[in-house]
Amino acid sequence: MSSVNTTVNLNANFKKSYADLPAKLIPDSVIFAREIPEVKRESTPGGIYSRMVVVSSEQGITKAPSGGTLGAFALNSPESMNVQEAQVSGSELVLRMSWSYKVMSSSANSPNKFEDVTKLVVANSLESAWFHQEADILWGQDAKGVGVISDKNFTNNTIDISEAEFAFGLFVGRERSWLAIESAAGQLRGYIQISQVDIENRRIYTDSTTPVPVGTIAGDIIRLKADGLLGVNSFIGLHKACLTTTGTLFNVPTTYSLWKPLGDYDIGGQPLSFQKLLQVLFRPISRGLGKSFKEIEVYVSPRTWMSISQDEVARRKYDWSYSSKGYQNGADNITYTCMAGTLTLRSHDLMKQGYALIMPKASRCMEKIGSQSTPTFKIPGQMNATGGEDYLMPMPNNAGYESRLYYDTSILSPYFPQMQWITGITNPALV
């Protein structure tokens, strides 16, 4: 009986300490997953979520000259607007964490002590779950994964990541996590476990127990191991969605101009300046950017943000055309007024250094759809013997308890055609 009481007490302590924590403890580096609203929709059989999107407008128009000279003129036939059903399935993540019997037995009857011995693991697990969701929002199922290898060293067990495909936020603090290496054609080379990360040189170290796979070459793709071959275990991210210019995107044909994404725009190895940004802006404006929402966001890597901010400071100091009404400098963003609305430049740790993204304000143009978008410690459908919620369960083959984090989510937006990815950015060398 005492063991049952202990489990009940542990679950009660866990619920009291952490049940509401996932929605509150979101790292600052997580922007999209925090700001995009969660829309709970009922799924159809098979876990499909739907949203109606307008892909063409009403065209049953008849015009007549002034003066009424045509009298009771004939009307053209109705041409109704075309509405398509976009469909998306959520992708699931489960993260496991464990504590020994010894740790738990000393804290079962003390909520404060329970929190002391568990909070570091819980906080770190939440950070990891939010990180994976944020990475998927940007790079889920992307052809180039989370990086592209520029060099390798089989003797030292290192791989280098090309500058354009590197985002430090995808690797910093990820020691002991697993990566998959694939050929550019999608063939699995093998797996490595990170032992050390050299951010300045964009270098990943492994060790002799998980050496760099034989056959690894420059141009190979790096993925988070949990994402699976070609990233199929993650949901479709923003870059993948915006490159889907043929076939269907979320079950809707891209032959409709209001649904056809713009693809990448390569600026050919130049630094990204405000002048270049405004030139590129014409492309999404031609698809309606600024009409539904006057708030426009541009996501760049921290390196690019620093380059543009220096460029803008120089313009502010030396350029007679500068106006305080058009430029506001903040701690982590730059706001500029353009013809389409208010453009805010935002730095994102998970943005690759050779990329940038122009889009309507994320919190207004996108939604997270799924049965459980916010990571939760509640095991779906799992109840304990007393009818309460199970947060902890005995491990079947180890002397300890296990808890799990879970989410089921994906992203959807009717505004993908108004999003413009910029590639080919080369940032000035660090001094």
- Domain encompassing residue 34: 2-45+88-141+374-412
Both 279 and 327 in a single domain? yes
Both 321 and 362 in a single domain? yes
Tens digits of residue pLDDT in 376-390: 888 776 655 555 566
Both 183 and 304 in a single domain? no
Both 226 and 100 in a single domain? no
How much is the pLDDT for 29?
80
Both 131 and 155 in a single domain? no
Both 296 and 154 in a single domain? no
pLDDT band at 219 (very low <50, low <70, confident <90, very high): very high
Burial of 177 (0-12, 13-18, 19+ CB in 10 A): middle
In the predicted model, what is the mean pLDDT of residues 39-62?
75
How much is the pLDDT for 70?
78
Number of domains observed in the structure of the chain: 3
Q: Does residue 254 lie within any of the structural domains?
A: no
What whole-number distance in Å separates Cα of residue 260 and Cα of residue 242? 8
Both 39 and 116 in a single domain? yes
> Residue 287's CB: how many other CB atoms inside 10 A?
19
Q: Does residue 15 lie within any of the structural domains?
A: yes
Instruction: Flag whether pLDDT at 326 surpasses 60.
Output: no
Both 212 and 95 in a single domain? no
| Least confident piece of the model among 32-36, 210-214, 315-319 | 315-319
Instruction: Flag whether pLDDT at 305 surpasses 70.
Output: yes
How much is the pLDDT for 341?
87
Both 344 and 381 in a single domain? no
Both 266 and 393 in a single domain? no
* CATH code of the domain containing 181: 2.40.30.40
Burial of 61 (0-12, 13-18, 19+ CB in 10 A): exposed
> Residue 328's CB: how many other CB atoms inside 10 A?
13
Q: Does residue 118 lie within any of the structural domains?
A: yes
CA atoms within 13 A of residue 369's CA, in its CB half-sphere:
23
Residue 71 — left, alpha, or beta (φ > 0 → left; ψ -120 to 50 → alpha)? left
How much is the pLDDT for 324?
44
Q: Does residue 55 lie within any of the structural domains?
A: no
Q: Which one of 211, 231, 251 terminates a domain?
A: 231
Q: Does residue 52 lie within any of the structural domains?
A: no
Both 120 and 165 in a single domain? no
Instruction: Flag whether pLDDT at 221 surpasses 60.
Output: yes
Tens digits of residue pLDDT in 345-364: 999 999 999 999 999 999 99
Question: Average model confidence (pLDDT) for the chain?
Answer: 84
* CATH code of the domain containing 290: 3.30.2320
pTM listed for this prediction? 0.86
Instruction: Flag whether pLDDT at 320 surpasses 60.
Output: no
Both 420 and 313 in a single domain? yes
pLDDT band at 37 (very low <50, low <70, confident <90, very high): very high
Q: Which residue has the higher pLDDT, 291 or 222?
A: 222
